[in-house]
């Protein structure tokens, strides 16, 4: 193995991203299953919910890591890239939207697109503002 500073710092970062990713993926699965069992609608509430949660927490983490340094920057790969990166899911949002469009559910698809964008942007902003109050 090559012993360079990049290799020495890359492994802990990769492990942090992987660990955070595993936590985020499991959380996403559990939230989606809970949402389906609880509400069982044809509308993809599970994906909307995990994306909304991720949007809120990315705003909070942005302030805590970048502005306030309450959380050390070393946690960014685990929390932002790993945890929130695997918790939220643009690819699932995309395929669910395409499926609705292919099934002729134009109103549901448009409602999903608009609500996802508005809710996630609003919650990211709310997370930033909430974290700034702390």
Distance CA 59, CA 132 (A): 10
Task: With beta carbons less than 8 A apart as the criterion, state whether 66 and 80 touch.
Answer: no
Task: With beta carbons less than 8 A apart as the criterion, state whether 89 and 47 touch.
Answer: yes
Q: What is the pLDDT of residue 42?
A: 83
Buried b (16+ CB within 10 A) or exposed e, 70-109: eeeeebbbbbbbbbbbbbbbeebbeebbeebeeeebeebb
Q: What is the pLDDT of residue 9?
A: 65
Vertex 69 angle, CA 66 and 73, to 5°: 70
CA distances from 112 to 38, 56, 81, 115 (A): 19, 18, 25, 5
User: Could you read off the pLDDT tens digit of each residue along the chain, which spans 134 residues?
Assistant: 455 565 566 889 999 999 999 999 999 999 999 999 999 888 999 999 999 999 999 999 999 999 999 999 899 999 999 999 999 999 999 999 999 999 999 999 999 999 999 999 999 999 999 999 98
Q: What is the pLDDT of residue 8?
A: 62
Q: What is the pLDDT of residue 5?
A: 61
Q: What is the pLDDT of residue 40?
A: 81
The three-state secondary structure class of 4 is coil
Q: What is the pLDDT of residue 6?
A: 58
Q: What is the pLDDT of residue 20?
A: 97
Q: What is the pLDDT of residue 1?
A: 45
Contacts (Cβ under 8 Å, ≥6 apart) of 41? none
């Amino acid at each position: 193995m090559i012993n360079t500073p990049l290799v020495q710092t890359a492994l802990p970062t990769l492990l942090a991203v992987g660990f955070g990713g595993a936590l985020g993926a499991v959380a996403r699965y559990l939230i989606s299953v809970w949402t389906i069992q609880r509400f069982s609608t044809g509308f993809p509430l599970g994906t909307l919910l995990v994306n909304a949660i991720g949007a809120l927490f990315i705003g909070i983490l942005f302030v805590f890591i970048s502005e306030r340094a309450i959380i050390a920057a070393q946690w960014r790969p685990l929390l932002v890239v790993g945890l929130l990166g695997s918790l939220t899911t643009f690819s699932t949002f995309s395929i669910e939207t395409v499926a609705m469009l292919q099934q002729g559910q134009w109103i549901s698809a448009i409602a999903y697109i608009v609500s996802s964008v508005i809710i996630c942007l609003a919650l990211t902003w709310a997370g930033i503002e909430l974290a700034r109050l702390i």
